[in-house]
Structure 1
Amino acid sequence: MTAHVKPKRPAPLSLRLNKAERKRLEKLAGDQPLGSFIKDRVFADALMPGASEVLDRYQMLVRVLAALGENDVFANLDAIAKAIEAGDLVLSDEQEAQIAASCLLVLEMRDDLIRALGLKPPAQPYDGDY
């Protein structure tokens, strides 16, 4: 009787990155584990022609959505709208309408980006009174 011999697995691959490279890689990967992200990027063309282009577009959408969140755009627009409602910021009706339209456009852009990523947008935090 012969013993069952397990085939040897290849040694793991090690990749050294400086802090900036690691930070960029983590940002590009988003919520995806780094190993999976790297494998997907390296082998995307082999899996499906044009897949790397789709992945690149997806990553661009992720970066734009992240930039919207990182720059406090929503919080700043919300603060302006609340100041208008409280009477702390006096504007003409036209200026108030322009700010309200801007708020809605930013929310629509956010929702479009989220949908383009295949996700469901969150419930709107605004009640449309702006």
Structure 2
Amino acid sequence: MTAPVSNAFEEAASKPSKSKPKYPPPLSLRLTPNERERLERDAGQLTLSAYIRLCLFGDSVPKHRTRGTKVIKDHEALALVLHHFMHSNIANNLNQLAKATHMGTLPIDDETTSCLREACTEVVQIRAVLVQALGQSGRRK
């Protein structure tokens, strides 16, 4: 190897790597099902971690980054949508349509157009149910 190339490798190897901040290991606590249920109920919209910190340290603890509050608003609606997805071939059918479109072999006649419109309507309905179940507004940001 020539000297400039060797030097370049040495420089690259000697650069400090970006290290992630070290966090202490997590604390584990075993609870009975009743104790956990009570904690979750008392926490309300807070995560369990945030609620426990609040109980232990009060308002003096700095806010931690969280993933947010409990997201699913309607478990039954979500279960219904997932059930329909499990018993449908929608993913496979959409993949076949995309493949045929890319190959230029998708016949665009009245029947195909009608089926595509119907599929789009169903996807919009599925999206609406998912948005409702997840408690979102449905508007894109």
Instruction: Please give the TM-score of this superposition, normalised by the length of structure 1.
Output: 0.40
Structure number with higher relative contact order (C-alpha < 8 Å, ≥ 6 residues apart): 2
Instruction: Please give the TM-score of this superposition, normalised by the length of structure 2.
Output: 0.38
Larger Rg: 2
